[in-house]
Amino acid sequence: MGQDGSVLQLRVEGAVAHLTFNRPAKRNAINDATIEALRAFFGAVPKGVRAVVLSGEGGHFSAGLDLSEQVRREPQEVMRHSRNWHAVMGLIQFSGVPVVAAMSGAVMGGGLEIASACHVRVAEPGAMFRMPEGQRGIFVGGGATVRLAAIIGADRLTEMMLTGRTYSAEEGERIGLAHYLAPANGALTKADELARQIATNSATVNYLIVQTISRIANMSAEDGLYAESLAAALSQTGADAEEGLQAFLEKRKPNFI
């Protein structure tokens, strides 16, 4: 826990909210209080916030689940705990506001599951991606078999869990764990730059992007194409569409309110 007592710090700068895991002494291991703080934020994103940057204090994004809270739970308790994570990861992915993860140091286990729920991921040299649950006698429960497997494939996730292999930032970018590789100590700066750029997009279109594309990936081709047409129809009405088209015709940058 950080000096101010909060496990998740919040700072809003204009249209961008900065969320920071704040348990540096534990490499930002995710405890139940952190999950509830994530639920509170993404369940009611502050008005005016159009993009979020998620990072970790003290050089690590997150080393994963705080196992000190997981000892001797009954099966039903573990099931409820896992389903609670699933609900909160769903809020991160589908709140309608794009989330950019700034990843440094340990991005492991539950920390990687959280990063997988984010829409844009930036890593810096020294970032370490790992799914160590197999070596700890437990199975993942925060959504890795769906979200992380969708990113890197079920085959590679199986290998990660069986071997406990650590992927570097450079390897992570190559296989899709990161979209961007920032300079040394530059993940947060790059993530903020991307978030500010994203925040200038149409809020309606950003909402449709984060709500629609991953769902279409789970549909049949014909159902996906139908859903795409619905999203297109919704996007091309209203003030944002008018402003975007007018800006194109006038050869200027659009100003989406």
How many other C-beta atoms can be found within 10 angstroms of the C-beta atom of residue 99? 25
From residue 163, give the alpha-carbon distance in Å to each of 130, 159, 160, 171: 10, 6, 6, 16
How many other C-beta atoms can be found within 10 angstroms of the C-beta atom of residue 65? 26
Query: Which H or E element spans position 106?
Result: strand 106-108
Closest alpha carbon to 169 in 132, 126, 130, 117: 126
Query: Which H or E element spans position 54?
Result: strand 51-56
Give the whole-angstrom CA distance, residue 122 versus residue 181.
Answer: 6
Phi then psi dihedrals of residue 210, to 5 deg: -75, -25
Of the listed 113, 124, 228, 242, which one is catalytic?
113
Give the whole-angstrom CA distance, residue 253 versus residue 35.
Answer: 38
Q: Encoding tokens for residue 52?
A: 């979020």
Residue 113 catalytic?
Answer: yes
Of the listed 36, 133, 170, 228, which one is catalytic?
133
- Amino acid at the residue 148: L
Identify the burial level of 205 via C-beta atoms within 10 angstroms of its C-beta, where 0-12 means exposed, 13-18 middle and 19 or more buried. middle
Closest alpha carbon to 209 in 122, 96, 95: 96
- Quick check: 107 and 61 in contact, CB under 8 A? yes
Residue 124 catalytic?
Answer: no
| Active site members | 113, 133
